[in-house]
Structure 1
Amino acid sequence: MQKLTVLGTGVLGSQIILQAAYHGKDVVAYDLSDEILAKLPERWEYLRPLYLRDLPDATDERIDAAIARIRATSDLADALSDADLVIEAVPERIDIKRDTWAKVGAAAPEKTIFATNSSTLLPSDMADATGRPHRFLALHFANEVWRNNTGEVMGHAGTDADAFEAVAQFADEIGMVPIRVKKEQPGYVLNSLLVPLLDAAAKLYVRGVADVETIDLTWRRATGAPLGPFQIFDVVGMQTPYNLNKDSDDPEKREFAEILKRDYIDQGRLGRGTGHGFYDYA
């Protein structure tokens, strides 16, 4: 699959776009307005030094060639017109995702395979909205895709085996290690392991048991992990944990969401991508 369309150009969407282009794919970047898309060059220049720092084969020339393979549009029909694969990275709300996929299913060519990058929702939660559930599955990326290079491939009971394998092959072709998830599981493999850690850290903080730095230090020193949970929150960005916790039945999770909104999001401290989160970054 050579021609990729990515729906949503936020933190993770833009990473998927550049990663695929870096590995030679022709990529269409879609978002709702030209004003949003006009910010993409800034995103490429933010990612450039990270690629140069972390990848031994990265050069300015290769990154320039990748950027040249990216085309941006706010016209959905245009974005989908020749797509082999569509990856959706829109906000983590089922109503937004189902509405997006209904529009995509009505406009995409018959050949197109559909993949959601949802972190928390199951493919079966939205597959029917496409009108082509047999061509629908999940391809889940970890943040900082050029470094944490796994692509979790997870279908639902109605996903065609050939579509599943085509997406696993695509993940391999863009530098990911394909993780074939054999059965639908909320959180895939990665988040099934990671989310309980982050929830536990948030509750320790809300309860006043320890401060951010102490919680992170404890986890790093005791396990040998490179990052503590609040450093991981900074990589993920504040908006995702806020959205996941603000309407929780658990009062401590709601309180954590309120802290994120008041002390971080409203202060422009959105995570490592903006230079400021729980920590400050050069």
Structure 2
Amino acid sequence: MQLTNTTVLGTGVLGSQILFQTAYHGLPAIGFDISDEALHAASGRLDALVAEYASFFGDPAKAQAARESIQLTTDLAQAVKGADLVIEAVPENLEIKEQTYQKLAALAPQHTIFATNSSTLLPSDIAPFTGRPEKFLALHYANNIWKNNTGEVMGTASTSAEAYEAVVDFAERTGLVPIRVLKEQPGYVLNSLLVPFLESASHLLVNEVADAATIDTTWKLGTGAPYGPFEIYDIVGLNTAYHISSHGDETSKKFAELLKNEYIDHGKLGVATGEGFYKYN
């Protein structure tokens, strides 16, 4: 089974990157979202990715061709009618995902494999809504896919070996390094390492041990890492950080409150909006 025609549900920051990464490696890619406004925003993100890919890979013509090949639609039936693989990147809310998969299951061809990009929900939480648990699993992308090119593949007890291997093959053909997650794990491999690190930094900030810039500088000087934790928060997006922290311990909830009051309520969501803990051009 080789997966070629790809549909991405949800065209936010990561959904747009998944579309571009897929198209850049020569596969047909269609993006679906629920409104024209969402697609207008997605179009702007995709336009901006042309420069990112051209700079990183050194092939402006290929990057522009990838952008021009991507289709966007608000018609779910049209989006999935020829799909071999549907990658779901809708908000991290189980109710929204349930509604999405119930609609998807009724419209997608029987051969279509479904893959969730969920960072916080296990695929087994979602599988009952898909109507085809044997053809459902997780394919988790890291932000800035073109350079942070891991593709974490995680199935459930119901996922068929054929579907799993088909998604591993798809990951390889679209420029990813497949990470075979051998059993379900909240946070996969990457976020199981990353989230405790970011949480430790947020606790230092909330407990007034040091400010964000000092914490970042300490980490970068001490380890040689290119980014500090609060720079990573800005890259990931402060909305995502807020949702994760609001379900943590009391200190994490204080951090979530700080994010909301000092940043999110003022439209400072990180790199995507030009300002978060830092300002960006």
Q: In which range does the TM-score fall when normalised by the shorter chain?
A: over 0.9
The answer to whether 1:51 aligns with 2:53 is yes
CA contact (8 A) 1:149 1:175 kept: yes
**Match runs of 1:105-144 below 5 Å:** 105-144=105-144
SS of the aligned residue for 1:178 comes to strand
Q: Distance in 2 between matches of 1:195 and 1:29?
A: 29
Residue 23 of structure 1 aligns with an amino acid whose one-letter code is: H
- Report how far residue 130 of structure 1 moved: 0.7
Alignment of 1:117-266 (within 5 A): 117-246=117-246, 248=247, 250-266=249-265
The answer (yes or no) to whether the contact 1:120–1:186 under 8 Å persists in 2 is: yes
Partner amino acid for 1:55?
A: F
Alpha carbons 1:29, 1:79 under 8 Å: kept = yes
Match of 2:5 in 1: 3
Query: Of the candidates 5, 23, 33, which is equivalent to residue 31 of structure 1?
Result: 33
Identity %: 56
Q: How far off its partner does 1:249 sit? A: 5.2
Question: Is the contact made by 1:51 and 1:146 (CA closer than 8 Å) also made in structure 2?
Answer: yes
Assess, with a 3 A threshold, how the Cα gap between structure 1 residues 249 and 171 changes in structure 2: closer, same or farther: closer
Measure the CA separation in 2 of the matches of 1:46 and 1:68.
13
Aligned residue pairs: how many? 279
TM-score of the superposed pair, with normalisation by structure 1: 0.96
Q: Is the 8 A contact 1:25 1:69 kept in 2?
A: no
CA distance in structure 2 between the partners assigned to 1:49 and 1:264 by the alignment: 28
Deviation at 1:222? 1.3
Structure 1, unmatched stretches of 5+, are none
Q: Does 1:278 align with 2:277?
A: yes
Query: How far apart are the structure 2 equivalents of 1:238 and 1:249?
Result: 15
Q: Are the structure 2 counterparts of residues 205 and 41 from structure 1 closer, same or farther at C-alpha, using a change threshold of 3 Å? A: same
Distance in 2 (alpha carbons) for counterparts of 1:69 and 1:50: 17
Per-residue CA deviation, residues 109-157 of structure 1 (Å, 9 max, x unaligned), is 0110000000111110011111110000000000000110000000011
* Greater shift in the superposed pair: 251-260 or 34-43: 34-43
Secondary structure of the residue aligned to 1:179 is strand
RMSD: 1.1
SS of alignment partner, residue 144 of structure 1: coil
Whether contact under 8 Å (1:106, 1:130) holds in the other structure is no
**Secondary structure of 2:266 counterpart:** coil
Determine whether 1:69 maps to 2:60: no
Q: Pick from 13, 16, 35: which aligns with 1:14?
A: 16
Unaligned runs of 5+ residues in structure 2 are none
Contact 2:12 2:42 survives alignment (8 Å): no
Deviations along 1:187-215, whole A, 9 cap, x unmatched? 00000000000111111101101100111
Q: Distance in 1 between matches of 2:75 and 2:50?
A: 27
Partner of 2:34, secondary structure, is coil
Query: Contact 2:47/2:67 (CA < 8 Å) preserved in 1?
Result: no
- Structure 2 letter corresponding to 1:261: K
In the alignment, the residues of structure 1 paired with residue 18 and residue 113 of structure 2 have an alpha-carbon distance, to the nearest angstrom, of 16
* Alignment-mate amino acid for residue 233 of structure 2: F
Contact 1:22 1:66 in 2 (8 A): yes
Q: Which moved more, 1:202-211 or 1:33-42?
A: 33-42
Change (3 A) 1:249 1:139: closer
Code of the residue aligned with 1:112 in structure 2: it is T
Shift of 1:107: 1.2
User: What SS does the corresponding residue of 1:126 show, helix, strand or coil?
Assistant: helix
Deviations 1:147-169 (A, max 9, x none): 10000000011100010010011
Query: TM-score, normalised to structure 2's length?
Result: 0.96
For residues 29-70 of structure 1, the C-alpha deviation after alignment (integer angstroms, 9 at most, x for no partner) is 0000122112233112222222222223x31x2122112221
Give the whole-Å Cα distance in 1 for the aligned partners of 2:271 and 2:178. 26
Query: What amino acid sits opposite 2:38 in the alignment?
Result: I
- Residue by residue over 1:240-262, the C-alpha shift from the partner in whole angstroms, topping out at 9 and shown as x without a partner, is 1111222x252211111111111
Report the residue type matching 1:9 in the other structure: T
